[in-house]
Structure 1
Amino acid sequence: MPNNSLKKTITSLLCFLLFALILSSCGSKYYFEPKAEEIKGKVSFSSSLPSPIVSILRDGATLKNGQFITKYSEIPDVYLPQNTQYLNQTEDYYLAGAYQTLLLIDKESNTQTSISFDNTPISASMNGALIAIIFDDNSFVLYDLNQGRVTYKQDSTLAPTNNTLIAAPYFLSDIVIVPTLDGKLVIVDKNNMQMIRNIVVNGDKYFNNVIFLEAIGNRMVAATPKRIISVSPNVISTFNANVKDILFFEDRIFIFTNEGEVILTDQDLNEKKRVKFPFAHFTAANHGRNIVILETQGYLIALDDELQSSAIFALPDAITSPTFSGMRQIFIGNRILKVE
């Protein structure tokens, strides 16, 4: 009997320890921690913003004081009304969205034109007098500024949750490519205002908006948080990954994943090279002489274009603020990092 009692006690103790270990491992969180000898030096911020970032899109960021950052890293001396978000720009206008309103700001005169809609614009692009606008209910319209009316409208499935890096519509010759919040590319002929194609990038229900859309030559690349597609006149190629960000050049594509990987592919998404930084959480990617990535624990990772070599540098502190990557500059909260 004593032996049986001892066995039960030991068994109970082992079960308790195993349960505690499982709970402990479930609560553990791993961080990117390069060794001291791997850190090549320190990087300082070059300057500061007039106000911190409060919201970001693929093509810009809005500051707390109403100013904004364009994708070209410009910070115009223009102040948006309260509760208005910068969306995009053209040669003549800045585009911004507020509740059920699209705001056009003339760059030369600074005059503002408000256009009312039934829903709130969250992404927009403009070509000539034609504006492509995506709304928060996942519908979109083409609006002719000269005619003062909607010339095309399409409703889509509601997408109540979406990644904040919302891509903007893309004008390409005679077509408009509209990225939806449920992972599709709707292609509309802007001459006869008819849909000519609907490409599904990914069919997931949640956090599935198109976060990247760009065309170079006859090649178009788009991505949701789960899949990248490359579209040419002859073929559509796909690549599955947990996508944090993308850089697209004429002959190569860099994919940055949520698992701390950098993947180099050709324009057809054939993988060429993959580098992993264990437990790294990327927050922004940019390109100067090298590929530059910011990591949330306070590191800058620089890689060459072939992913053959890398170097790690320490930032002044960890990154906890919204981050926007513009042309040759990365904006973190209210600070600016130049990318050489």
Structure 2
Amino acid sequence: MKLTAYAALGFLSILGPALAAPQGLNLEAVNGAEWAPKSDKGKEIDPALIKAQVLLDRARFSPGVIDGHNGENLQNALKIFEKTNELKPDGALDEEAWRKLTETSTEPVLTEYTITDQDVKGPFVEIPDKMEEQAKLDRLAYTGPEELLAEKFHMDVDLLKALNPGKSFDKAGTSIVVSNVDTKANSGEPKKVAKIEIVKSEKVLRAMAENGSLIAAYPASIGSEEKPAPSGSHTVRAIAKNPNYTYNPDYAFKGVKAKEKFEIKPGPNNPVGSTWIDLSIESFGIHGTPEPEKVGKAYSHGCVRLTNWDVQELAGMVEKGTAVEFID
């Protein structure tokens, strides 16, 4: 089934400047990281926070992009993890939360990976800012091996570079250090999601089992002041992998001058990312994004935006008719 994504997109960035990496950041330091009382690390990448983010990712309490910083997405993921494990849900990585988190998996959180021919063969493209220009491309592919590898391992590009100083990412056979997210604590057949809860105030999407237990939680950008997300009960209508995106001039996005509909081809840098979960609300869905670092930190024009890897995982656990509840 071909499904074209009609989504009202857009965002307002609230990200700060690039952050520095400390000396001695490597595989051994992160895999061997232990909890310590909070210290002022400024803008440095924290090995213990990388470890916590990878462990949360494996346990399906997604922290979004793994970057080694104590951001809002990590704090929200910790709150849900703590509540699920009957700990104080304050979003703080204290000694008790650390102990419980490290009990979820014994596999190293970082691993060595050899870059393959597939990783570097492309084709890669430069993505123009204007949507009308994007519509001229045959595919909204990755911009290069760095972006591909960072997304493959759920990482921030800056962290990928910090862990691999001096390494070239465009040569097959190169060994690099990456997050070990393939080894999931709950690996195996994907669980069936009976209900999706989209909690607007918490900027989180919760995937629930038939018995009401939590299967997964993902940070999400949900709606905007100009076009608030809906409320109430809805359902999944269809799922599309590698969707096209159709711009409707009725959206009147800032900077888009087109007066007629136009289509943007599929790819991970498509405006709706790699996957579209269509809902029983016209022009509305749950989808990926070409800018995973902005999930939970930027507004969508009404749709629910997840990272590409989170929406792909969710799509594998839902089906047509799955209940979707928007909660204020």
**What TM-score do you get using the length of structure 2 for normalisation?**
0.28
Based on CA coordinates, which of the two structures has the bigger radius of gyration?
A: 1
Greater helix content: 2
**What TM-score do you get using the length of structure 1 for normalisation?**
0.27
Larger RCO (CA within 8 A; separation ≥ 6): 2
